[in-house]
Amino acid sequence: MTYMNRKIAVGALAVAVLLAAGCGGKKEKTDAMGPEETVEAFVRAVTGGEFCEAMSLCDTLTMKKYIRDYAQAWDMLVRKDSGAVAIAAAVLAEADFRTEDVVKDGDRRKVTYTLDAGEGKNKKKTATVRKEEGVWIVEEITDSL
């Protein structure tokens, strides 16, 4: 195994251990956030590299792979070019988050949103959220057509 591959493997392992450990405990969530605010907070946390915060806003059993994959890609990019990742994170932090639609589906809500970074760079997705112990949590994120 080359030195670079070892560094990537160690980084990926560190991310996996951090996520598996639950990031040292969940933050206290507030029931003041509705489905749309919860989705936006989750998206901002993931795109900002705040993976522990993202874990506190989601169903960790169903979303663990989503966050782990994102965290591993983030870690790999940081190792390649941390400056470019910092710029991308700043752009995403300023991206316009727009809720397009909210559909009630039993005890869940499907929140369709667009994250628009400008210049035609946008992504439309749908998040499924459900209420658990009085707070909304993200259960699934899918691409919207």
List residues bridging with 112 in a β-sheet. 101, 126
- The answer to whether residue 24 scores a pLDDT higher than 90 is no
Distance (Å, rounded) from C-alpha 142 to C-alpha 121?
18
Q: Give the burial string for 112-135 (b: 16+ CB within 10 Å, else e).
A: bbebebeeeeeeebbbbbbeeeeb
> 141: which strand partners?
127
Domains annotated for the chain, with CATH where assigned, are 3-21+29-143 (3.10.450.50)
Which of the four pLDDT bands, split at 50, 70 and 90, describes residue 15? very low
| pLDDT tens per residue across span 28-37 | 455 689 999 9
- What integer pLDDT is reported at residue 75 of this predicted model? 85
Highest mean pLDDT among 3-12, 20-29, 60-69: 60-69
Q: Tell whether pTM > 0.75.
A: no
How do residues 126-137 score in pLDDT, each as one tens digit? 999 999 989 999
Which of 44-48, 61-65, 90-94, 139-143 has the least mean pLDDT? 90-94
